[in-house]
A and B are shown apart, each in its own frame.
Chain A
Amino acid sequence: MQTALRASLPETELAGRANFAPHARVVREERPVQASGLPLSIRGLRKSFGDNEVLRGIDLHIPAGQFVAIVGKSGCGKSTLLRLIAGLDKIDAGSLSFGQEIQPEDIRVMFQEPRLLPWARVLANVEVGLGRDRASSDAHARAEKALIEVGLADKRDQWPSVLSGGQKQRVALGRALVSRPRVLAFDEPLGALDALTRISMQRLLERVWRDQGFTAILVTHDVSEAVALADRVLVIEEGRIAHDVTVNAARPRQRGSAELAGLEGSILSHLLSADDRT
C-alpha cells in the first residue's frame, strides 16, 4: 500500500509544481513581507458546553509563522480549541491574544467541508474570502491570483458542483488565502479526501504556508498528516495539552522517512496509552 502510493506520487507532484511554482513566485515579489504570521498566546483557557467542561485550562504560546498540529481522540476538545482561536465561539475563562489589534480578514478558517456557495462560480466563491474588500475594484484580480496559487485558474468560471472533492477543497483554500490571512486555522480540512488527493493537498498546504508565512493551526485525527506538515504537534487529552512534540525534519518533508515514522509512532503510542488508562 505504502509503496504503491509513493510510486505514483512524483507524477502528481510534478504536475502540481508545473501549475504552481512560477505563479507563486510572482505573488511573492508583488506582496513582500506584508502578510507575515501573528504570534498567539493562550492562558488558562476554559470552555464548557452545559455541564460538560471541554477545555480545562489550556496554556500555549505559538510563535509567529509556526505550523502547529493539534491531535487527539474525538471529543478531546481539539476542534473546540480551534473554534475559539478562530473566534467562532466565545471563551468562558482565560485569555487568547495575538499580540496586537487584528482585523477579521487576518484570521481565516478552513473546514472539513468546502462550504462553497453552489450558486456562485468558482471565482465568485473565492471573492467571498475578501471580506469587506469584496466590493473593491481589484477584487477580481486578487481572487484570480488566489486561484492561480491553488492551481485552479482554469476553473474560474465553473460551478462548484462539477469539481471533484479535492478541487472544491482547493477553492476553499483559495478563498481562505485571498485576504492574505496572518493566521489560518484548519479543521480536518483533508478528512473527506481520498488518500492520493490528500497527499497532494498536504504538499499544497505546506507550499502556501512556506510562501506566505502565516501562522498555521491544523486540527487533525491523522497523526502522519500532523508530523508531515507541522513544526510542532500538540496532543490534547481530556481538555488539556498532554504532550508538546517538536518536529525538526527538513522541509519540504519527505513522506514516509524513518524520522517522521518514528515520531508518528511515539505520538500514536501516547494517544493509545491514554486510551488504556481510561
Chain B
Amino acid sequence: MSLIDSISLPRSIRLPRADGLIQWIVPLAIIAVWQVASVTGFVPTRVLPAPSDVVLAGWKLLVSGELVRNIWVSFWRASIGFLIGASIGFAFGLANGLSQLSARLTDTTLQMVRNVPHLALIPLVILWFGIDESAKLFLVALGVFFPIYLNTLHGIRTVDPQLIEMGRIYGMTDGELFRRVIFPGALPSIFVGIRFALGIMWLTLIVAETIAASSGLGYMAMQAREFMLIDVVVLSILIYALLGKLADSASRVLERLTLSWHPAFQKR
C-alpha cells in the first residue's frame, strides 16, 4: 500500500513540470562538459572559448547596448520579412487551392521559381537593392513564401470532400463554407508550413546579414571575426539557436491554441 502510494503520488503531481525541464537537460550538460573541457585546457580557447567567457562577452555587449540593438534589428527584419512572405504565400495558396483557373495560371510558374535556391539570388539582390533593408526583407520574404504557399495549397486541397458536400447540403454559403470547413481543415497543414518557414526565415536572414549588412546579428558575428573576437562569434551562434527555439515555441503555442480540437493536441 505505502509502496504504491509513494510511486503513484509524486508521479501524478510532478509530471507536467518535469516534462518542461527534461528538454533542457541535454543542452545544460553540453555546456557543463564544454566549460570543464575549456578550463582544463583540453579545448584551447583560441578554438572554442569557455562558456563563461561567452557569457562575459555577452554581458559587455549587453551593457554597451550593442547586443540589444543588433538582436532588435535582426528580429525586426525577420518579422517583417516573414509577414510579407507569409501573407503572399497564404494568398497564393488560397487562390490556387480554391480556384482551378488561378492554379492553372500561376502554379507552374511558382513551381519553377521554387526550384531556384533563393540564396542564389543574393548577388542579384545586392545589385538591385544594395545592402539596404529591402534586400534582407526581400530575401526573407522569398524564402518564407514557398513553404507557406505549398502547405496552404496542400491543406486546402486535402480537406475532406465529404465535409464540403455536407456543408453544401446544410446550406452553407461559399463564405461560411470557407470559414467553417475549408480554412479550419487546412489549418494543421498551414502550421506545418509556418514552422518550416520559421527555420528558413532565420537561415536566410543570417546568411544575408553575414554577406551584406551594417547591423544585425549576422553583421555582429562578421565584425567579431574581423577582430578575432571568437567569444562574440560563439555568442552570436548561441543566440541564433535560442531565437530559433523561441520562434518554434511560439508557433507551437499558437498551434495548441487553434488546434485544440485535433486529437494530437488533446490531453494537456
Chains A and B belong together in one complex: yes
> Cβ of B263 and Cβ of A117 under 8 Å apart?
no
Alpha-carbon separation in the docked complex, A111 to B160 (Å) = 14
> Cβ of A104 and Cβ of B171 under 8 Å apart?
yes
Q: What 0/1 readout, one digit per residue, does chain A (104-119) give for beta carbons within 8 Å of chain B?
A: 1100110101010111
| A115 cross-chain contacts in B, Cβ below 8 A | 162-163, 165-166
A274 at the interface (CB under 8 A from B): no
Can you list 22 A-B contacts (CB < 8 A)?
A86-B169, A104-B171, A105-B171, A109-B169, A111-B162, A113-B162, A117-B180, A119-B184, A119-B185, A119-B261, A119-B262, A120-B261, A121-B261, A128-B166, A128-B167, A129-B170, A131-B171, A159-B260, A160-B261, A161-B261, A161-B263, A161-B266
User: For residues 75 through 108 of chain A, which have their beta carbon under 8 Å from a beta carbon of chain B?
Assistant: 86, 88, 104-105, 108
- Known contacts A111-B162, A159-B266, A162-B266; A117/B184 CB under 8 A: yes
Query: Chain A's nearest CB lies how many Å from the CB of B81?
Result: 30
Query: Chain B's nearest CB lies how many Å from the CB of A1?
Result: 33
B181 at the interface (CB under 8 A from A): yes
| A117 cross-chain contacts in B, Cβ below 8 A | 163, 180-181, 184
| A31 cross-chain contacts in B, Cβ below 8 A | none
Q: Point out residues on B near A: beta carbons under 8 Å.
A: 162-163, 165-167, 169-172, 180-181, 184-185, 187, 259-263, 266
Which A residue sits closest to B185, measured CB to CB?
A: A119
- Known contacts A118-B262, A161-B263; A88/B169 CB under 8 A: yes
User: For residues 35 through 51 of chain A, which have their beta carbon under 8 Å from a beta carbon of chain B?
Assistant: none
| A109 cross-chain contacts in B, Cβ below 8 A | 169
> Cβ of B170 and Cβ of A128 under 8 Å apart?
yes
| B261 cross-chain contacts in A, Cβ below 8 A | 118-121, 159-161
Interface residues in A, total, Cβ within 8 A: 23
Alpha-carbon separation in the docked complex, A175 to B263 (Å) = 22
A277 at the interface (CB under 8 A from B): no
| A175 cross-chain contacts in B, Cβ below 8 A | 170
Query: Chain A's nearest CB lies how many Å from the CB of B159?
Result: 11
Q: Point out residues on A near B: beta carbons under 8 Å.
A: 86, 88, 104-105, 108-109, 111, 113, 115, 117-121, 128-129, 131-132, 159-162, 175
| A104 cross-chain contacts in B, Cβ below 8 A | 171
Which B residue sits closest to A159, measured CB to CB?
A: B261
Query: Chain B's nearest CB lies how many Å from the CB of A208?
Result: 18
Alpha-carbon separation in the docked complex, A120 to B187 (Å) = 14
Query: Chain A's nearest CB lies how many Å from the CB of B113?
Result: 33
- Known contacts A161-B261, A161-B263; A120/B180 CB under 8 A: yes
| A128 cross-chain contacts in B, Cβ below 8 A | 166-167, 170, 172, 180
Alpha-carbon separation in the docked complex, A162 to B262 (Å) = 10
Query: Chain A's nearest CB lies how many Å from the CB of B182?
Result: 11
Which B residue sits closest to A133, measured CB to CB?
A: B171
Alpha-carbon separation in the docked complex, A118 to B185 (Å) = 9
Query: Chain B's nearest CB lies how many Å from the CB of A133?
Result: 9
Which B residue sits closest to A112, measured CB to CB?
A: B162
Alpha-carbon separation in the docked complex, A159 to B261 (Å) = 6
| B181 cross-chain contacts in A, Cβ below 8 A | 117
Query: Chain B's nearest CB lies how many Å from the CB of A167?
Result: 15
| B170 cross-chain contacts in A, Cβ below 8 A | 128-129, 131, 175
Alpha-carbon separation in the docked complex, A271 to B125 (Å) = 74
Which B residue sits closest to A130, measured CB to CB?
A: B170
Query: Chain A's nearest CB lies how many Å from the CB of B183?
Result: 9
Interface contacts beyond A161-B261, A162-B266: sample of 5 additional A-B pairs, CB < 8 Å, sorted by A: A88-B165, A113-B162, A118-B262, A119-B185, A129-B170
Alpha-carbon separation in the docked complex, A115 to B170 (Å) = 12
Alpha-carbon separation in the docked complex, A53 to B184 (Å) = 38
Alpha-carbon separation in the docked complex, A109 to B180 (Å) = 20
Query: Chain B's nearest CB lies how many Å from the CB of A175?
Result: 8
| B165 cross-chain contacts in A, Cβ below 8 A | 88, 115
User: Which 8 A-B residue pairings sit nearest by Cβ, starting from the closest?
Assistant: A131-B171, A119-B184, A115-B166, A119-B261, A161-B263, A159-B261, A104-B171, A128-B170
Which B residue sits closest to A87, measured CB to CB?
A: B169
Most A CB atoms within 10 A — which of B170, B262, B266? B170
